[in-house]
Structure 1
Amino acid sequence: MVEEKGVGVDSQNYPSPSVAGEEKLRRAISDMSSLISLSHAIRVFPVKWQLIRTKLEELNSALIAAENCHSGESQPLSDLIAVVSSTVSGCLDLAGRCINVSYSGKLLMQSDLDLAISKLDTHIKQLSAIYAAVGILSNRFALVVSKPGVGATRDDMRFYIKDLLTRLKIGDCEMKRQALASLNEIVGNDERYIKVIVDLELSDLVILLTNFLDSNDAVIREEAATSVAAIAGFEAEAYRGVLVSSGVIAPLIRVVETGSLRAKVYAIRSLQKLTQNGDNAWALSAHGGVTALLNLCKCPKEDESYVELIGPSCWVLKNLVGVDEIKRFMIEQGAIPAFIKLLKGKDEIAQIGSAEFLQSLASGDEHVRHLIVKEGGARALVRILDPKSVSSFKSRETAFRAIENLCFESVDYVNLLISYGFLEQLLYFLRKGDVSIQELAFKSASKLCGTSEDARKSMGDAGFMPEFIKFLEAKSYEIREMAAQALSAMVMVPKNRKKFTREDHNIRLILQSLDLKEGNSGNFKFLLSILMSISSCNHARRKITHSGYVNNIEKLADAGISDAKKIVDQDAATKLG
């Protein structure tokens, strides 16, 4: 009977192994929570205790996840919980001695704390291995924490982020995918979450993401690349510093080499942001990033899926040209013909990216500028401006800027541009282009006037002066000033001067523009320069005298402007003659 009663009591009142495991788990969680709270009161060895607290919080989150999954029956987990509980008990003892400052020596206590940190770190790794092996934290068991609403408190956000981090650390593949997707949703739309992550454990998250970039799971790799790009995209340099110090550049380059198209896009975006700091150029180069990006830009034309990678790749490489060794390497690897080929293509982003890259490559380097022009870069840029082409406004804007930067400092290159039909294109846009492209063409033509006398002669023959004269009446003060400056350069050529003076309207317009009431005082030096040039001709001087606007010049002369005085003196001499 006793035995039967004993058996009955045992079966009804003693907890089953599963229940016992659950109780051990709850006790371990409770003890750990108490230790975390207690650790905040410790004032000695603050760095050591911060590390211990971080490890305890990670362990605690992982065990809470296991509790939610009702996983106390797992024997490997149950065995580990017993060891963890022992370590926590030891830490509680250390905490009490630190609070009371009752330890025998600082060096001995530091050693004990280091040992505790090492044990906790080992437990975290063991726990992660157990979860991975038996799949305890899987998507079908996990409780889903809902994303906080718009007016969420900081504590709600912290709880949500800690839950996501736990899933990233110990979840199965599906859970990691979902956690990364949720992470991308919040960091991509609300910087408040980034700030919470920074306060919690940004470095831990970045290390996780860095590891995920090498995942065999394509979705995890893509989501991790997206997360890294979001963090790199914030302007705070500290965030990017954490990414770089965590070793993210090498795996990003591996994604560029072997990842999916989506993963490559986000990896290149990250590298573009990270290389804005020139100190990171060598890190990218050391891991083969320059070669990887150049290879993308050299991809076969028929591989249309990769076109969207080319523009961002150009901008990464543009960030690197400031390092002479890297610049020389790119040139040796055929960067110039490769990017000129992109200029000749039809993709807008590739055209813009390659034009900007080539400008940066040639900046302050006449030899490189010569190579670009020699390889056909100038001709390719002029073709983008062809009115018959389907080039976008942005492509043409970039082409104008690139032509000016690459060619306008050399008389020989300007002559090449003219032989390629550049003047005809400028005139077309000046006469028939819409306002935006007309302004670009006008500014480029104005700068071209200052390059050489041969250019001014060719522009005079082509018919640019009437167009510049029209812009003297523009609403914009800047445009009026540029037109006056361009005309003052054009009439320095005798042939152009004769053409200018044939039209009475031209002289009358210049004189009218000298009216102080018109607010053109900044233009006076260029307008007077035009009059000084044309007044060398007796015929032109007589036109000035009989224009009816000589009083405008006289007022300027009375105001002490020397060029105006000279013209007045010439006018007086003409009347006497």
Structure 2
Amino acid sequence: MDSEMSEEREGCGHNPPQSEEISLGRASELITALISSTYCVRSFPLKWQLIRGKLEQLHSGLLAAADRGDSTNNSELMELLKAMTSTLKEAQVLANKSSDESYGGGKLLLKSDLEILSSKVEVQFTILSDMYVSGAAAHSLAIILSKPEVGASREDMKIYLRDLISRLKIRDSQMRIRALCALNDVLHEDEKYARIMAVEMSDGVSLLVKLLEQGETGVQEEAAEGISVIAGFESSRGALVVAGVIAQLIRVLETTGSQLARARAARALKKLTENSENAWSVSAQGGVSTLLKICSDAHSSGELIRSACDILKSLSSVDEIKRFMVEEGAVSVFVKLSGSKEESSKIKAIEFLTILASDDDMKHEVVNQEVVGSLVQVLDPSSAHTSKARQVALRAIESLCFSSPSSMNQLLSSGFLDRVLLLLRNGEICIQESALNAVSRLCGLSETSKKVMGDAGFMPELVKLLEAKSFQVREVAAEALCGMMSIQRNRRRFIQEDQNVNRILQLLDPEEEKPVAKKFLLSAVLSLTDNDGVRRKIIASGCMKYLQKLAETDVTDAKKIVKKLSGNRFRSILTRIWSS
């Protein structure tokens, strides 16, 4: 030991600063050699992998200290370096033993020594980090250590997170931002980091929440991003709530600062409110008014508005909060937003209005604000709206208008039927199905609606849809057509086209490639048999055998049809047909 100290003094010319720099360099060399040795070990390779990760972090810190010129009088650092040097030499001996195939020592003793070594390295790294946090060591120690490789042990992850947290405690914005960026990187990469932060590190989450209060834009943005990622895991949300994150997120939303910070804060709050237990906390902190203000602010970004809509949607699951929203003017806010040029915001607004319309009193208020016309406009096939927007608009129309005569009158006078008919003819499959469902439901509302639909030309389109690829579409089309047949005017119009009756009869064939629910077709045919011409057409079509088979299986409507066709007037015709 004396010879080593003598050599160092000779090399440094008895200059304390140079001696310290050599000590830093010497420790760095020892670590480099030791890390290289760990790749050759044969005993306890996994334990050495853990130790190697800790050594690499320690090495990064020492290199940063060596770059600092004003650390020459740092006695604490010198004491730490002496302890490190001793530990590293011990570690090299253990690495050699672990690499020697002829090593005959007890493995239990070697394992115990390695555990002690691992603890020593971790303690020394922690001391080095704490020295920096307290200002005792150089700021350059704040460089971010290399993140653990994919599949690293949980212990390696914790060490890395502890290092990042220590850097977040430094009162230097740029260094905090660098540490936050590194933290967000691993949080996005592996959800284990989020669990460790929330469950195993008591100060990790609370520190992020405190950083939301910082005035520095970059710090607030990155802290909000980290919280948003952690909030994405249900097991971690409780720790965030306990740390007071909801109040801080709302404060960020209330500011007129960075749109990115506000958008990230809203994203985090959206995840937290997926749990209805947090709804009251958001409301108690003034969150409802803040979110409505965002939705009504023309300067809010699209992402911020969408997240605010989603949060309000979650909060509305609590009836008392939903009523408070209405009192705060939610209806007028979302009626206005439903006319937004940005389609994603328009969709969110329409969906929220649909939720409010589940209450009959609110339904009346929404309709009175002339939202129906804008919803019908979305259905215009010549407009630039997507199928998703049209589906959402159709659902809203059903919810708002189909249960009130006055609303129905307003809807029918707005050009709704013309728009829906065009969608049935030319719409994409998904919107065609949505339009068909609306038509089917409309058919069951009133005699007036059936008459108006018959006049508008819906029956030919429904007949075409009886041959659609989807069985569900064929069934809904058959049900709607059956409903329309209850109106005599519609029946007269229907039988004017020969192919209409013929196609329905053909679909009664049990071997038809595209079967349709027979109950609706039979009901339609039964209503048509009041007409003599239809009865003759049925007899002449050769489809009587299908009806006869159905009647033999006790299908009520089939038996009724056969009975009508077997009356005195048609018996001779039937006899001739069946005997031929």
TM-score, structure 2 length as denominator? 0.75
Q: Is the 8 A contact 2:228 2:265 kept in 1?
A: yes
Aligned 1:509-528 pairs, distance under 5 A: 509-518=503-512, 523-528=517-522
Deviation, 1:384, is 1.6
1:342, 1:351 within 8 Å by CA — same for their partners in 2? yes
Do the aligned partners of 2:295 and 2:333 also contact (CA within 8 Å) in 1? yes
Q: 2:323 aligns with which of 322, 328, 333?
A: 328
Alignment match, 1:296: 294
**CA drift at 1:73:** 6.7
2:465 alignment partner AA: F
Moved more, 407-416 or 314-323: 407-416
Structure 1 stretches of 5 or more lacking a match?
Answer: 1-11, 27-60, 83-123
Match of 2:184, SS?
Answer: helix
- 1:458-469 paired onto structure 2 within 5 Å: 458-469=452-463
CA distance in 2, matches of 1:279, 1:480: 44
Counting only pairs closer than 5 Å after superposition, residues 3-42 of structure 1 correspond to structure 2 as none
One-letter amino acid of the structure 2 residue matched with residue 376 of structure 1: E
How many pairs are equivalent? 479
1:255 corresponds to which of 237, 252, 257: 252
Number of the residue aligned with 1:53? none
Shift of 1:66: 9.9
Aligned mate of 2:239, from 232, 238, 242: 242
Whether 1:414 aligns to 2:408 is: yes
State the distance in 2 between where 1:161 and 1:206 align.
11
The alpha-carbon deviation at position 307 of structure 1 amounts to 3.0
* CA displacement at 1:65 relative to structure 2: 6.7
Superposition pairs of residues 267-346 of structure 1, within 5 angstroms: 267-300=265-298, 303=299, 306-346=301-341
Q: Which residue number corresponds to residue 547 of structure 1?
A: 541
1:231 partnered with 2:230: yes
Aligned-partner SS, 1:482 = helix
**Structure 2 vs 1, CA of residues 362 and 430 (structure 1 numbering), >3 Å: closer, same or farther?**
same
Equivalent position to 2:528, from 499, 520, 534: 534
State the match for 1:400 in structure 2: 394
Matched, 1:219 2:218: yes
Gap change, CA 1:499 and 1:505, over 3 Å in 2: same
2-side partners of 1:498 and 1:520: how far apart?
27
Structure 1 vs Structure 2: percent identity of aligned residues?
Answer: 44
CA–CA distance in structure 1, aligned partners of residues 275 and 520 of structure 2: 43
CA distance in 1 between counterparts of 2:508 and 2:525 reads 11
Q: What is the CA–CA distance in structure 1 between the aligned matches of 2:401 and 2:138, rounded to whole Å? A: 64
Deviation larger for 291-300 or 441-450: 441-450
Alpha carbons of structure 1 residues 294 and 74: separation in structure 2 relative to 1, 3 Å: farther
CA distance in structure 1 between the partners assigned to 2:439 and 2:516 by the alignment: 20
Q: Is contact 1:135–1:172 with CA below 8 Å preserved after alignment?
A: no
**CA gap 1:67/1:317 in 2 versus in 1, 3 angstroms:** same
Alignment of 1:168-207 (within 5 A): 168-170=168-170, 172-198=172-198, 200-201=200-201, 203-207=202-206
Comparing 372-381 with 144-153, greater Cα deviation is found at 144-153
Q: Quick one: distance in 2 between partners of 1:161 and 1:178? A: 13
Do the aligned residues in 2 keep the contact of 1:206 with 1:242 (CA within 8 Å)? yes
Equivalent position amino acid for 1:296 in 2:
I
Partner of 1:557 in structure 2? 551
Determine if contact 1:511/1:553 at 8 Å carries over to the other structure.
Answer: no
Residue deviations 1:351-394, cap 9 Å, x none? 0111111111222x110001000111222211222234322222
| Distance in 2 of aligned mates of 1:566 and 1:263 | 71
8 Å contact kept, 1:508–1:549 = no
Judged with a 3 Å threshold, the aligned counterparts in structure 2 of structure 1 residues 212 and 298 are, in CA distance, closer, same or farther, namely same
Question: Which residue of 2 is the match for residue 209 of structure 1?
Answer: 208
In structure 1, C-alpha distance between the alignment counterparts of 2:143 and 2:504, rounded to whole Å: 81
Residues 446 and 425 of structure 1: is their aligned pair in 2 closer, same or farther, counting only changes over 3 Å? same
Per the alignment, do residues 135 and 571 of structure 1 end up closer, same or farther by CA in structure 2, a change over 3 Å counting? farther
Could you state the TM-score of these two structures normalised by the residue count of structure 1?
Answer: 0.75
- SS of alignment partner, residue 311 of structure 2: helix
**CA apart distance, 1:426:** 0.8
Tell whether the 8 Å contact from 1:132 to 1:172 is kept in structure 2 after alignment. no
Q: Offset of 1:521 from its aligned partner?
A: 6.6
Instruction: Name 1:148's counterpart in structure 2.
Output: 148
Cα deviation per residue 1:318-356 (whole Å; 9 max; x = unaligned)? 111122222122112211111111111211111011111
Distance of 1:447 and 1:155 partners within structure 2: 60
SS in 2 for 1:517: coil
Match of 1:358 in 2: 353
Give the direction of change, closer, same or farther, for the CA distance of 1:135–1:391 in structure 2 (3 Å limit): farther
CA contact (8 A) 2:198 2:239 kept: no
Q: Map residues 64-143 of structure 1 onto 2, 5 A cutoff.
A: 69=65, 134=135, 136=137, 138=139, 140-143=140-143
Counterpart of 2:166 in structure 1 is 166
Q: Can you give the 5+ residue segments of structure 2 that lack an aligned partner in the other structure?
A: 1-12, 28-56, 81-125, 573-580
Q: Distance in 2 between matches of 1:340 and 1:514?
A: 48
Kindly provide the amino acid, as one letter, of the partner of residue 242 in structure 1: A
Contact map agreement 1:65 1:137 (CA 8 A) in 2: no
Instruction: Sort the Cα spacing of 1:74 and 1:540 in 2 relative to 1 into closer, same or farther, 3 A.
Output: farther
2:498 is aligned, of 504, 518, 542, to 504
Distance (Å, rounded) in 1 between the aligned partners of 2:146 and 2:134:
27
Alpha-carbon separation, structure 2, partners of 1:543 and 1:319: 58
Give the residue type in structure 2 aligned to 1:447.
R
Asked if 2 retains the 8 angstrom alpha-carbon contact of 1:342 and 1:350, the reply is yes
Task: Provide Cα deviations, 1:101-160, integer angstroms capped at 9, x if missing partner.
Answer: xxxxxxxxxxxxxxxxxxxxxxx9xx98x967858563x343431123335444433332
CA distance in 2, matches of 1:195, 1:253: 24
Cα deviation digits, residues 413-438 of structure 1 (max 9, x gap): 22211101001111122223343433
Aligned pair in 2 of structure 1 residues 537, 135: CA closer, same or farther (>3 Å)?
farther
Equivalent-residue separation in structure 1 for 2:397 and 2:308 (angstroms): 22
The alignment status of 1:435 with 2:429, answered yes or no, reads yes
Q: Secondary structure at the match of 1:551?
A: helix
Partner of 1:114: none
Instruction: Return the letter of the residue paired with 1:158.
Output: K
SS of the residue 1:390 aligns to: coil
* C-alpha distance in structure 2 between counterparts of 1:563 and 1:206, whole Å: 69
Helix, strand or coil at the partner of 1:345 = coil
Aligned-partner Cα distance in 2 for 1:539–1:551 = 19
Q: Does 1:448 align with 2:442?
A: yes
CA separation in 1, counterparts of 2:138 and 2:173? 10
Distance 1:134 1:205, change over 3 A: closer
Q: 1:250 to 1:135 in 2, by over 3 A?
A: farther
Equivalent pair of 1:256/1:264 in contact (CA under 8 Å) = yes
